Structure 1
Amino acid sequence: MSFASHIFIFYFLPIILLCYHLIPRKSHLLRKAFLLIASYAFYAWLNPLFVILLVFTTIFNYTLSRFIAGSKSNSMRLSLMVICVVENLGLLSFFKYAIFFQKNLNSMLKPFGAVTFPVLKIVLPVGISFFTFKILSYIIDVYRGNLPGCSFLDFACYVAFFPQLLSGPIQRYGTIDAKSDRVPAFAEQLEARIDCLSTFSYGVALFILGFSKKILLANVVGKVADAVFAAEAPGALDTWFGVVAYTFQLYFDFSAYSEMAIGLGSMLGFDCPRNFNAPYLADSITDFWKRWHISLSSWFRDYLYIPLGGNRKGVTRSYLNLIVVFLLCGLWHGANWTFIIWGIYHGIFLVFERLLERKTIYSSLPKPIQICITFFFITIGWVFFRAANITDAFRLLTVMFTASPPQGGSILLSAVLYTPTHLVTMALCVILIFQPVQAIDWVKTISWSKVIILIILFFLSVATMFTQTYNPFLYFQF
C-alpha cells in the first residue's frame, strides 16, 4: 500500500487516525497495541507472508536482546549480539543478494563448462533493508549498554511503525548522546507523544506537500528519465536531459516519501528524524552526505565507520574505512554491480576531498560555483545508480561526453521528452532544488495563504493521481 494511493489516503489513513485518537491519551498500552495492529495490517496489504517474516525477526531479536541486557558475561553478550547480527544480515542477504550472487557464480562457472545453478525465485520483502537496520541499531545499542531494553510491545511498535516501515527514516530506539544531532528517542515518544492541534496540522501539511512532490514532480520527470534510460541510442542532449531528470526524480520521490512519513508520524504524535536538508545545495560530496538520506549516513557513521576506527587509526586507515563504508552503502541500495560502483565512486570522492581539504584552490571558488561542480559530479554518479547494468551506464556516459549525434528513433524520443508539461516541470524542479527553505521548514508556521496553497495542491495532486499509472516510490526496491 503506497502512501500516494487513493486506498491509503481515503480509507486506511482516516480510519487509523480516527480510531487512534479516539483511544484516551492515558491509555498508552491500548494505543501501542492498536498502532502495532495497524502497522501489521498495513504491511499485510502488500503481502501477508511479509508479516510472518517481520513477526519472526521481531520475536527472535527481542528475545536475544533481553538475554544480552541481562547477562553479566561479556563473552556471552558478545556471542548473542553476533548471533543477532548474523541472523539479520543473513535474512537480508538471502532475500536481497542470493540471486545476485547466484547469477555471478553461474557466470564464473559457465566458461569452464561446470554445472550452473537454477536461479532462485525470491520475492524481496519491501522495507527489509530499513527495518533490518533499525533492529541492528537497537541490538548493538543494547550490547553497548546504551539501552536498558524495553517491553516486547514497545520493541514491536518500533520495528513495525508503519510510517517508517517501507522506506525509513531509520530512527533509533534510544538517544545515546543528548548533544548529538539525533531526534528525540522513539522510546521516549512511545510514552510521551505530543497530541495537539499544532503537531497534527503540521503533519497534515507536510504530508500534503510530500504527496504533491511525488505526484506533480517526481512522477512527471520520472517519465522523462525512464524514456532516456530505456532508449537504445539516445543523442547527447537527450541523454543529459534524461539523467538530470532522474537526478530530480530521485530527490523529489524519496524526499516526498520521507516528508509523508514524518507527516504521518506527527499526526500520530511522533517526531520522526529529518532525512534531507537541501542536498543539491551541497558545496562538496562530503557536504552532500550530511544532507542526503541523513538517517542512513548517520547509521553507517555510528555502527560501521566509527567501529572500524574512523579517523583514530591514521590517515590511510581512515581512507580505507571510507571506501569500505561506501562500498557497503552502495550494496545496501541494491544487488547490482552498478550500486557497488556508485558507492565506491562516492567513497573515492570523499577520500579525494580529505586529501585536498587544506588546499585553497577549490575553497576559494565562489559558493555557487562549488555547488554547481558538486551537482555535476553527483549527477554523473546517478547514472550508475539508475542504469540496469554497467554496460548501459558506460554507454550513456560515453554518449554524454562525446556529443554523440542523434541516432534512429531520436525524433520520436525527442517528441516524448520535450513536451510543455515536461519542460515546465523540469524548470520548476530547478527552482525548487536550489531553495534553502525546504518543505519541512515551510510548514512549521501555518498561515491562511499557506492553507489555501495546500488545499489547491492536494486536490490537484488527487486529480492527477487518478490519471497516473506511474506511482511507485523508487526506494521501495531497496
Structure 2
Amino acid sequence: MVFSSFSFLFFFFPLVLILYYAGFRYTKNVILLIFSLIFYAWGEPVYIILMLLSITINYITGLLIERNIASNRMLSARSNLILAAVWNLFAIAFFKYYPFLVSNVNGIFPDLLPDYNLSLPIGISFYTFQALSYVIDVYRQKVPAQHNYISFALYISMFPQLIAGPIVRYSDVAREIKNRTLSLHDFASGSERFIIGLSKKVLLANTFGIIFENIQGLDSSHQAIITAWIGALSYAFQIYFDFSGYSDMAIGIGRMLGFHFIENFNYPYLAKSITDFWQRWHISLSSWFKEYLYIPLGGNRKGALIQIRNILIVWMLTGLWHGANWNFIFWGLYYGILLILEKFVFASFIKRFPKIYRILTLFLILISWMLFANADLSALFGFGKIAFLNQTTWYYLKSSILILAIGAFACLPFLNPYGKHIKKKAPFLAVTLLTGLLLLCIVSLISQSYNPFLYFRF
C-alpha cells in the first residue's frame, strides 16, 4: 500500500484516524501498532513474520545489553550487540543481496549457488537500520532499553515512515512513544504537510517519470544530446519530488498522530557542493552512516589516508544500501570519489569560484542520477554520432518546458514566505488552496496509471 493510493486515502488512513482519536490514551499505541502491521502485510503478508522476528530479537537484545551493562559485564553486553548486528545484517544481506550474489557467481560458475527467487521485503533497509541504531545506542548508554514490547514494536513498524523513511532513531521518538500530545495545531500542520507531499508525488513526480520513461524508450534514430539532458532533468525532478514528497507525507501523518519526525530534505538542488548536497538530501540516511559507521571507523581523526578509506567504505555501502546492483555500487563510489576530491583537491577552487562550482555541482548530480537509474550515459555526451538536437527534441521542449519550469521553481524555497503570510493573514484562502490541491491530486490519480514510488523497495 502506498500513500498515493485510493485504498490508503479513502479507507485505511481515515479508519486509522477515527479509531486512534476515539481510543483512550493507553490504547493508542496498540491501535497504531495493529494498523502498522496491517499496512506492512497489505502487499506481502508472509514478510510480516520476518519483521516480527526482527522486532523480538532486537527487543530482547536491548534488554540483555542493558542488564549486562548494569551488572558491569561489558564483554557479555558487547557479545549481545555483536549477535544483534549479525542478525540484522544477515537479514538484509540475505533478502536484499543474496540474489545479486547468485546472479554474479552463477554467471561465472553456472548453478553453483541455489536461486531461491526471493522478493525483497518492503522497507527492510529502513527498519533494519532503525533496529541497529537502537541496539547500538543502548550499548553506548545513550538511551535506556525499551521494556514495553508493544512500544518497541511500534517504533520499528510505525507505518508513516516504515517503507521509505525518514530513518528515525529511537532517541528521537522515545518520549512521544510513551506520552504524546494531540493538538488541533499539529493535526492542521500535519494535514498541510501531507497534501503538499501528495501534490509533489502525484502532480510532479509522476509527470516527470512519464517524460523520463518516454525519452529512455526512444530508439537511437530519435535520440539527441538535448533530448537526453531533458530526460536527465526529468529524472532528477522525479526522484526529488517522489522521495521528498513521500517524506513530507510521512512527516505530516506522524504529526497528525502526535509524532514529530526529523526533516529528511532541505532543498538539495540549492547545494553549493557535493558535500552540501548530502547534508540536504536524505538527511536521515547521511547522518546514520556518519554516526554509526564513518565516526566509528575513525572519521577524519587518523590522517588523510584513513579518512579516504573511510569515505570510500561508507559510500560503497551507501550505494549498496540503495540497491543490489552494480550501478548502485558505482553510484556510491562516484559520490565517494567526488567527496574525496572536494576535501583534498578542489577545496581552494570551491572557495575562489563558489558560483562556478555550484553550477558544476548540479551537473555532477545530474550525471549521478543517470548512474542511479542505470540509464545510458552516452547520449548525454553525444557518443555514437548522436545529433545535438532534432525534431524529437523540439517536441519535448515544447511539451515539457512548462512542467520543467514548474519543477525548477518548486525545488526552491521562494513560496515559503508567501505561504506563511497567507496562512497568517488569510487562513480561509490557505485552506481553500490546500483543498484545491487535494482535489487536483485525486482527479489526477483517477486518470493516471503511472504511480510508482522509486524508494518503495529500498
TM-score, structure 1 length as denominator? Answer: 0.89
In the alignment, which residue of structure 2 is the partner of 1:190?
177
Equivalent of 1:225 in 207, 212, 219 = 212
Q: Alpha-carbon deviation of 1:414?
A: 5.4
In structure 1, distance between residues paired with 2:457 and 2:250: 17
Task: Please state how far the C-alpha of 1:349 moved relative to its aligned partner.
Answer: 0.9
Deviation at 1:477, TM superposition (A): 2.4
Q: CA deviation at 1:225?
A: 1.2
Cα distance, 1:445 vs. partner? 5.0
**Structure 1 SS opposite 2:42:** helix
| Aligned residue in 2 for 1:295 | 284
Match of 1:252 in 2: 241
Kept in 2, the 8 Å contact 1:278–1:436? The answer is no
- Flag structure 1 segments of 5+ consecutive residues without an equivalent: 175-184, 388-392
| 1:228 Cα deviation after fit | 2.5
Deviations 1:286-336 (A, max 9, x none): 000100000000000000000000111112111211111011000000001
Map 1:296-375 → 2, pairs under 5 A:
296-356=285-345, 358-359=347-348, 361-365=349-353, 367=355, 369-375=356-362
Q: Distance between the aligned counterparts of 1:451 and 1:154, measured in 2? A: 35
Which residue in 2 is equivalent to 1:143?
139
Give TM-score, length-normalised by structure 2.
0.93
Q: Displacement of 1:33 after TM fit?
A: 0.8
State the secondary structure of the residue aligned to 1:95: helix
Distance 1:443 1:91 in 2: 49
**Which residue of 1 is the match for residue 49 of structure 2?**
52
User: Match for 1:451 among 424, 431, 439?
Assistant: 431
Query: Which secondary structure state, in structure 1, belongs to the residue aligned with residue 203 of structure 2?
Result: helix
Residue by residue over 1:195-221, the C-alpha shift from the partner in whole angstroms, topping out at 9 and shown as x without a partner, is 111110000001001101111100001
Query: In the alignment, what sits opposite 1:42?
Result: 39
Paired residue secondary structure (2:18): helix
1:126 maps to: 122
**Shift of residue 404, structure 1, vs aligned partner:** 5.4
Q: Kindly indicate whether residue 25 of structure 2 is the aligned counterpart of residue 3 of structure 1.
A: no
Work out the CA distance in 2 between the residues paired with 1:95 and 1:417.
40
Distance 1:442 1:299, change over 3 A: farther
- For 1:444 and 1:450, locate their aligned partners in 2 and report how far apart those are by CA, in whole Å: 6
Task: Give me the whole-angstrom Cα distance separating, in 2, the residues matched to 1:133 and 1:105.
Answer: 27
Q: 2:259 aligned with 1:270, yes or no?
A: yes
Please give the alpha-carbon distance, in whole angstroms, between the structure 2 residues aligned to 1:223 and 1:425. 12
RMSD: 2.1
Number of aligned positions between the proteins:
447
Separation (CA, whole Å) in 2 of partners of 1:436 and 1:323: 36
Instruction: Write the distance in 1 (CA, Å) between the matches of 2:212 and 2:293.
Output: 33
Q: Which residue of 1 aligns with 2:406?
A: 428
State the AA in 2 paired with 1:239: A
CA shift in 2, pair 1:236/1:119, >3 Å: farther
Show the counterpart of 2:454. 474
Deviation at 1:358, TM superposition (A): 4.8
How far off its partner does 1:450 sit? 2.1
Give the SS at the match of 2:456.
helix
2 CA distance for matches of 1:276 and 1:289? 10
Give the AA of the match of 1:81.
L
1:7-58 Cα distance to aligned partner (Å, 9 max, x none): 101111111011101123xx2x311111100101111111211211111110
- Aligned-pair distance for 1:235? 2.1
SS in 2 for 1:167: coil
**Given residue 2 of structure 2, which amino acid in structure 1 is its aligned partner?**
S
CA distance in 2 between counterparts of 1:84 and 1:443 reads: 49
Pairwise CA distance, 1:60: 1.3
Q: Please say if residues 205 and 443 of structure 1, whose CA atoms lie closer than 8 Å, have aligned partners that are also in contact.
A: no
Q: Which moved more, 1:446-455 or 1:58-67?
A: 446-455
Q: What is the letter of the counterpart of residue 189 of structure 1?
A: E
Question: What CA distance in whole angstroms lies between the structure 1 residues aligned with 2:257 and 2:61?
Answer: 30
Q: CA deviation at 1:270?
A: 0.5
Give the match's secondary structure for 1:242: helix
Question: C-alpha separation between the residues in 2 aligned to 1:301 and 1:295?
Answer: 10
Greater CA deviation, 119-128 or 185-194?
Answer: 185-194
Task: Identify if the C-alpha distance between structure 1 residues 212 and 358 changes in structure 2 by more than 3 Å, giving closer, same or farther.
Answer: closer
Sort the Cα spacing of 1:228 and 1:119 in 2 relative to 1 into closer, same or farther, 3 A.
farther
The 2-side partners of 1:262 and 1:476 are apart by 16
Pairing 1:163–2:152 present: no
